[in-house]
Chains A and B, each alone.
Chain A
């Protein structure tokens, strides 16, 4: 029995012994460079494969290809589908086709990315592969939990279940010794973020013209900076990274912004877990409460849609709440949120620069070395994320056909792979999270106060600007 117990590592003791954390990348390339290389190569290959299989006719028709050109790679990756009574339903899509094989292949992509990371990082492949297979299976299980219809349609996204599953295993049985070398949560998240860059299209910023830009770009940075400042100086929260992650997920676009900024400011995994939990809880509340409140206030549905788009964290919940007000309100809500989505790249870059140059810098250093020091601390993978964002934005803006090329590649393949990598990263983070370290953060209540105060400011400012732009200044332009 004792021998069996020694096969598992308690989260706290394992972390103290440095066993569950990722082994340093001693002989190979640095982790950021590896994540960037893998991400860029995957997107480049995906674009090439989609181009090779481009339609022979009507290649520029959005009506014919509303989700972009179909990519052959779409058949190689899928996630469990929504289910009601039996998890077996998750293996069949809406059209009644089995998705068992693409789900298995999706797990295969996770293992392949892990293997590429291990090889480029100069580590031994043999010791990591069994753990990578188990992580892919746990990610699939987390997707399965998130795919239950009640969970799915109330916006409790997969990161919550991936983290919870990892925390449950790590804090009860512990982490098996053979799994520990494969726990590369940061690597999976960073690689997923680089690939995510292909979906962050600056070209979409002007979809709603000036009112949309004003509602998103004016309010979001003001709320982000004010909430961060209030957390650090007003509430006296000792961790600046926690303040930043909570502020970003609340003011920009929920979980995806939390992941990007947490990576940019090197937040602890417990802080990211807490920020995601807060965001999902309030997203569900706001998704249910905002449409009746807007009707009760007698707001114009277009203004209400813009208000929803600018305030509810998660993109899917924005569409769900916006549609409750009507078709036009749903369209405005979704597009305002999409404009906010496009800000992730700029915000992650700005946070990384601010962190490297001002928060983490050593005041004792001479001024001449400040830039060099900031560059040394700068998370390099953010550059890969920005590079893909700029290249895909440029391709997207070239012509209707190239826009469909980018959409087909991202919607059909890279966004799915990014989801698998994030899910696996969150399983790793959950396995490495000591619940006892999360408890003081929860017990202090200050992150909750920060979120609520920031969201109240967000609600007030967004309503004011949405009323000004969509309700008054450009009213004629936006009336359906």
Chain B
């Protein structure tokens, strides 16, 4: 039980202390902001979890007649 408590304490320190500080570093903050503005969900495991469903792009739709 002591080892579990130590493990949980490490998790709490990392998630509540370290990660919030790291995410404010310029490269990380920039990446997160870009993803939020573009509504990208990089954690999507499958296309159904994306914020926007990938649909055949309109510019391909217009040229579909050219496709073999």
Contact = CB atoms under 8 A, between A and B. Distances in A.
Are A and B interaction partners? yes
Contact of B19 (A150, A210, A316): A150
Which DSSP category, helix, strand, loop or mixed, fits chain B's interface?
A: helix
B32 A157 contact: no
Contact of B50 (A157, A207, A319): A319
A407 interface: yes
Contacts of A148: 15, 19, 23
A263 interface: no
Interface string A170-199: 001100000000000000000000001001
A334 B47 contact: yes
Which DSSP category, helix, strand, loop or mixed, fits chain A's interface?
A: helix
A474 B68 CA distance: 9
A406 to B, nearest CB: 10
Interface in A103-158: 145-146, 148-158
A423 to B, nearest CB: 11
Contacts of A156: 43
Contacts, number: 150
B57 interface: yes
* 9 tightest Cβ-Cβ pairs between the two chains A and B: A316-B44, A334-B54, A172-B3, A173-B4, A320-B42, A172-B4, A150-B23, A316-B42, A331-B57
Given A153-B35, A154-B42, 19 more contacts: A84-B23, A146-B43, A148-B19, A148-B23, A150-B23, A159-B45, A168-B4, A168-B7, A168-B11, A209-B60, A315-B50, A316-B42, A319-B42, A320-B42, A338-B54, A411-B48, A415-B49, A474-B67, A476-B63
Interface of A: 4, 8, 62, 66-67, 84-87, 145-146, 148-159, 168-169, 172-173, 196, 199, 207-210, 253-256, 287, 314-317, 319-320, 323-324, 328, 331-332, 334-335, 337-338, 341, 407, 410-411, 415, 419, 474, 476-480
